[in-house]
């Protein structure tokens, strides 16, 4: 009888540990997705500042070569270090749609996130479930 009780206790503890681990893993994914969205928000401010300075958007090649690097224009530093993707192999991506509309893309880990698009968006040959699409012709807050 005692063996059966011990087996039941071990099974219950195992199930509880599995549930706890899955919830903790989901919380980490959600946290990293919030960080991704925040990173892209910061980059959008820099792109809007560039647009204000030059009256045009930077090229996709220019921005996509700057992830995790300093954005330096002559002696002016637009951003000390562009954020970079730290948790997946798929780097952030920037694309333009017309003279003032651009998108910043990331792959979210939590596919249940309300911002994770069902129809993936292509950028630089990769597909992303999150896109922050906006106009550069908006006042930049410094």
Inter-residue contact 110 to 29 (CB < 8 Å): yes
Does residue 140 lie in a domain region?
no
Residue 68 has pLDDT above 70, yes or no: yes
Does residue 142 lie in a domain region?
no
Does residue 73 lie in a domain region?
yes
The number of beta carbons lying within 10 Å of the beta carbon of residue 103 is: 20
Structure-block tokens of residue 64: 């996509």
pTM for this structure?
0.81
Mean of pLDDT values over 42-59: 95
Does residue 107 lie in a domain region?
yes
Q: For residue 39, what pLDDT band results from cuts at 50, 70 and 90?
A: very high
Structure-block tokens of residue 7: 């087996």
pLDDT for the residue 78: 95
Q: Phi first, then psi: what are they for 29, rounded to 5°? A: -65, -45
Domain region containing 95 = 2-135
Does residue 141 lie in a domain region?
no
Calculate the average pLDDT of the chain: 90
Total structural domains within the chain? 1
């Amino acid at each position: 009888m005692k063996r059966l009780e011990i087996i039941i206790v071990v099974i219950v503890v195992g199930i509880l540990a599995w549930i706890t681990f899955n919830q903790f893993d989901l919380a980490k994914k959600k946290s990293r997705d919030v960080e991704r969205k925040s990173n892209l928000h910061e980059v959008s401010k820099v792109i809007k500042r560039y647009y204000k300075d030059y009256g045009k958007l930077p090229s996709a090649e220019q921005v996509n070569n700057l992830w995790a690097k300093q954005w330096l224009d002559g002696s002016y530093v637009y951003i000390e270090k562009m954020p970079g993707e730290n948790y997946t192999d798929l780097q952030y991506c920037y694309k333009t749609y017309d003279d003032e509309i651009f998108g910043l893309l990331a792959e979210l880990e939590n596919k249940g996130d309300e911002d994770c698009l069902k129809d993936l968006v292509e950028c630089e040959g990769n597909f992303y479930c999150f896109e922050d699409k906006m106009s550069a012709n908006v006042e930049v807050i410094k």
